[in-house]
Chains A and B, each alone.
Chain A
Amino acid sequence: MNFFLETLVSGLSAGVMYSLVAIGFVLIYKASGVFNFAQGSMLLFASLTFVTLVEKGAPFGVALGTTALVMILGAILIERLVLRPLVNRDALTLFMATLGLSFVIEGLAQLLMGSDVHMLDLGIDDLPVSVGGLMISQFDLFASGAALALVAVLSIVFNKTRMGISLRAVADDTLAAQSIGIRLPAIWRIVWSVAGIVALAAGLIWGARQGVQYSLSLVTLKALPVLIIGGFSSIAGAIVGGLLVGATESLADIYIGPLVQGSVSTWFAYILAVVFLLVRPAGLFGDRAIERV
């Protein structure tokens, strides 16, 4: 029983890390209707920039600030050079454009900062502490805390500030929002910047776990089923979806894996997501403007 619980808890903490990545997707999808495949590359680029600065001797805060600035600059460039020319095009074209964008970002990252594998130490031990009899890693607690803080900040920004309200207006009805004077390019720039900073946060946490290297960009693949289950446009959905995916795939690997003599978690989350779609097309929170047949 304890083994089951520990598997479950470790799955949940993995899920939080997936959610961190998924939130970046949600922000961009909500505001611009773009499924941004380059989110993984942005995550790589951000963490690589950060770690390179730190290795060059920059203090933690300076490196963090500089990287955030770089991500904002990147967002402005992406809006101007990619999004604006593609306005009003279908979702698939936009998706493909972000795939092209991921080649550019990954190429730039390796061109500018090299291909080395970097160690990233955030100063938090990845060792277990006992919480109510269960062994939980301090690092997982920290990651969960970071995710919670991020969600809290984002929800304050979206619910209380003028910018956030404009953003929600755009998400609800783009045309109406424009007609009352909300400038779409400005909103996009802001949202892509925020997504860039979220990518930085996720990149640091993932990078501390596995080292900062190219394969960081692959975590997108784990975020996709989270999004299908949680919805492309709900931050709460991303969190719950992440927990669900993390927990079920951990359990599946332990309890179903041996039956088929292999690991199942590469596809398990996707099949779960498909089944979920079939049973509940409206999504976890029913807030998706889903095109039902």
Chain B
Amino acid sequence: MTVASQIADTPVRGVQRRAGLIGRPLVLITIGLVVAFVAIPLVATDYWLSSIIIPTIVMGLAGLGLNLLMGYAGLVSLGAAAFMSIGAFATYNLLLRLPVLPLPVVLVLAGLIAAAAGILFGLPSLRIKGFYLGASTLGAQFFFEWLFTNFKWFSNGSQSLTISAPRLAFLGWDLSAATGRYLLVAAVTALLILLAYAIVHSRVGREWMAIRDQDTAAAVIGIRIGRRKLLAYAISSFFCGIAGALWAFGYLGTADAHAFDLDKSFQVLFIVLIGGTATLFGSFFGAAFIVLTPILLDRIVLATSLTASADQGALANLQRIIFGVIIILLLIKEPDGLSSLLRRGLSGVRRRDTASRAPLG
């Protein structure tokens, strides 16, 4: 098999798997859209929207952005939160200083600004690979956290160096209540998932995977590796930037540079690894895990009335330990992430179905 045909045939992992899993994607997409835009807004309470669903979707989107870089292009970044902060601060300043621009345009522009920064901090990828590259992206992490803290202009002279959405409206709709914020987040995310799908199925996506799997061979057949890598950083940062804007204004409401600290970057990384690399939907499972697990552990304590008998501090520390243990266990037991698990689960059910039907036939 020639390298060229190998490129053409490189399976788009996530997609092929999903195609095997679902017979009719159109039906599923329709169901998904109905659930996302009709059922959830009708059923979910404020609590669910504001503290579980919105953060899960936004972090999932950030994970998707990083996944494009890591899973598809095979590059590393430990500074995803920096690009989220760029998106957030860019959105804030664009809304504030150019009030004529409508929200969707602002989000796209903010994403593009984050993309530009992504290209700049992706430059080391032209010379180095592997973990050193990852470590060098930490430069972005600390630089932008400092930049947005040090210069008051970015937060319009705010005393607490925080930014809050001046107006969250689209076509006259006020989006500041929980349902409005949810719809904004869900709509933007749906569109971006579509965009991500298109990218990984395009020539760019296939070339990324070629670089990821065999960079020398990719160079031999004429892929301009440097450009493609920088494009990967740009696109990934575009996604992260928009996710950051949504995190600041769709979820938190008010944010400062420290809302996008190193811990947040690591969280995004966790989401990608736990959800499954090179999948489009895996990140959302990963995000659900990261958001839900601590809340769940707290709920268990609450539900079992342990607080009455045990020491609160010990319980809080125990929760932290358990969270760490679960992460390690997941990494050990599920090398391909939660999305592969779900796939196995579903195909298992189907296999059982066929098996149970067999004797009858």
**A106 in complex: contacting residue of B70, B132, B320, CB < 8 Å:** B320
Alpha-carbon separation in the docked complex, A87 to B146 (Å): 38
* A96 near B327: Cβ-Cβ < 8 Å: yes
* A293 near B146: Cβ-Cβ < 8 Å: no
Q: Is A141 an interface residue (CB 8 A)?
A: no
**B324 in complex: contacting residue of A101, A273, A277, CB < 8 Å:** A101
Closest chain A CB from B96 CB (angstroms): 22
Query: How many residues of chain B have a CB within 8 Å of chain A?
Result: 46
Known pairs A92-B76, A111-B318; A104 contacts B324 (CB<8 A): yes
* B332 near A292: Cβ-Cβ < 8 Å: no
- Tell which of B136, B319, B324, B325 has the most Cβ of chain A within 10 Å: B324
Q: Is A97 an interface residue (CB 8 A)?
A: yes
Q: Mark A220-239, 1 if CB is under 8 A from B, else 0.
A: 01001101100010000000
Alpha-carbon separation in the docked complex, A102 to B324 (Å): 8
* A271 near B131: Cβ-Cβ < 8 Å: no
Q: Is A258 an interface residue (CB 8 A)?
A: no
Alpha-carbon separation in the docked complex, A100 to B320 (Å): 10
**B138 in complex: contacting residue of A104, A270, A281, CB < 8 Å:** A270
Q: Is B197 an interface residue (CB 8 A)?
A: no
Q: Is A264 an interface residue (CB 8 A)?
A: yes
* A107 near B139: Cβ-Cβ < 8 Å: no
Knowing that A96-B331, A100-B327, A104-B328 touch, tell me 7 more A-B residue pairs with CB under 8 angstroms: A81-B328, A102-B324, A267-B146, A270-B143, A273-B135, A281-B132, A292-B127
**B124 in complex: contacting residue of A99, A110, A277, CB < 8 Å:** A277
Alpha-carbon separation in the docked complex, A41 to B149 (Å): 27
Q: Is A180 an interface residue (CB 8 A)?
A: no
* B124 near A266: Cβ-Cβ < 8 Å: no
Alpha-carbon separation in the docked complex, A227 to B70 (Å): 23
Contacts of B215 in A (CB 8 A): 293
Closest chain A CB from B136 CB (angstroms): 5
Q: Is B142 an interface residue (CB 8 A)?
A: yes
Give the contact-size bracket for chain A.
35 or more
Q: Mark A82-105, 1 if CB is under 8 A from B, else 0.
A: 100110010111011101111110
**B266 in complex: contacting residue of A99, A101, A106, A291, CB < 8 Å:** A99
Q: In the complex, which residue of chain A has the Cβ closest to the Cβ of B147? A: A267
Q: Mark B298-340, 1 if CB is under 8 A from A, else 0.
A: 0000000000000001100111110111011001100100000
**B131 in complex: contacting residue of A89, A91, A99, CB < 8 Å:** A91
Of residues 192 to 224 in B, which have CB atoms within 8 Å of A's CB atoms?
Answer: 215
Q: Is B94 an interface residue (CB 8 A)?
A: no
Of residues 170 to 184 in B, which have CB atoms within 8 Å of A's CB atoms?
Answer: none
Known pairs A107-B320, A277-B136; A97 contacts B328 (CB<8 A): yes
**A111 in complex: contacting residue of B129, B321, B332, CB < 8 Å:** B321
Contacts of A264 in B (CB 8 A): 146
Closest chain A CB from B47 CB (angstroms): 26
Alpha-carbon separation in the docked complex, A260 to B320 (Å): 39
Contacts of B89 in A (CB 8 A): none
* A86 near B123: Cβ-Cβ < 8 Å: no
- Tell which of B131, B262, B273, B332 has the most Cβ of chain A within 10 Å: B131
Q: Is A108 an interface residue (CB 8 A)?
A: yes
Contacts of B129 in A (CB 8 A): 291-293
Known pairs A93-B273, A228-B135; A277 contacts B128 (CB<8 A): yes
Closest chain A CB from B119 CB (angstroms): 14
Q: Which 5 A-B pairs have the closest CB atoms?
A: A103-B324, A100-B327, A107-B321, A267-B142, A107-B320
Alpha-carbon separation in the docked complex, A290 to B76 (Å): 15
Q: Is B270 an interface residue (CB 8 A)?
A: yes
Q: In the complex, which residue of chain B has the Cβ closest to the Cβ of A260? A: B150
Q: Is A35 an interface residue (CB 8 A)?
A: yes
Q: In the complex, which residue of chain A has the Cβ closest to the Cβ of B152? A: A261
Alpha-carbon separation in the docked complex, A108 to B145 (Å): 30
Contacts of B283 in A (CB 8 A): none
Contacts of A111 in B (CB 8 A): 314, 317-318, 321
* A96 near B139: Cβ-Cβ < 8 Å: no
**B135 in complex: contacting residue of A89, A227, A261, CB < 8 Å:** A227
Closest chain A CB from B141 CB (angstroms): 8
